[in-house]
Amino acid sequence: MNLDFTQVIPSLPFILQGIGVTLSIVAVALLFGFVLGVFLSLLKIGKYKTLRFLADAYTSIFRGTPLVLQLMIFYYGLPQLIEMDVPAYLAAVLTFGLNSAAYVSEIIRAGIEAVDEGQKEAAMALGIPYSEMMKDVILPQAMKNILPALMNEFITLTKESAIVTVIGVMDIMRRAYIVGGDLYLYLEPLIVAGMIYYALVMGLTLLGKRLERRLRHSD
């Protein structure tokens, strides 16, 4: 076995540029997923049965089908409906955003439900309206449980984002694959990609640990 990384070196900048693409997909998707996830979680704990059912069904569908299938549906399938091409980047962000909303809504619902019921009762007894109670009393406390789990979702998303390569988005994965094709040398660029992903995940893990420590500090 002989690995030859010297040939990959000229292509390193090309591969490294994928970090921005990967991170931007993940960040936008997570932000989008968070906003939608908060909304869905509020429906899930709300008093309207139909809305609760719809939010649960949404979660169930996105968690119950393969991510790569969802991605292909948005990239190849959606244009058929709207009679307009969907750019690969947009399809990627949309899929990951909608998908992570399903997971995030579960994370937030669980975080809210972990807050002592007495907090809600104390706020109600003071005459505080529901929306204010959620915003000022329940959610700030739920965040303690939510943030670490959210960080995990961030990490998972970073790794899973590699599948956008199947619709041609120029992320880390895709670039490594292209370099491999050019050089007729696959293992080395793939190892490089692997190292980049690993470094990203480790960086995020560290960040998460720090965040957790800060949160515990404020107790």
- Cβ proximity to another protein: between 82 and 126 the closer is 126
What is the C-alpha separation between 24 and 18, in angstroms, rounded? Answer: 10
What is the C-alpha separation between 28 and 99, in angstroms, rounded? Answer: 13
137 binds another protein (CB under 8 A): yes
C-alpha distance across the termini of the chain, in Å:
54
Instruction: Choose the binding region for another protein from 63-71, 102-110, 132-140, 158-166 (rule: CB under 8 A).
Output: 132-140
- Number of residues in contact with another protein, rule: CB under 8 A? 19
What are the residue ranges of helices labelled H in 73-132? 78-82, 88-113, 117-125, 130-132
Quote the least distance from Cβ 121 to another protein, whole Å: 6
- Contact flags string 101-130 toward another protein, x per CB under 8 A: ---------------x-xx-xxxxxxxxx-
Helix axes 139-160, 187-217, angle to 10 degrees: 170
Instruction: Choose the binding region for another protein from 17-25, 133-141, 156-164, 205-213 (rule: CB under 8 A).
Output: 133-141
- Cβ proximity to another protein: between 12 and 122 the closer is 122
Closest CA to 98 of 42, 30, 148, 51: 30
How would you label 105-131 residue by residue, b for 16+ Cβ within 10 Å and e otherwise?
bbbbbebbeebeeeebeebeeeebeee
Candidate list 24, 141, 156, 205; residue touching another protein; CB under 8 A: 141
- Cβ proximity to another protein: between 78 and 215 the closer is 215
Quote the least distance from Cβ 187 to another protein, whole Å: 52
Quote the least distance from Cβ 143 to another protein, whole Å: 9
Binding site for another protein (CB under 8 A): 116, 118-119, 121-129, 132, 136-137, 140-141, 218-219
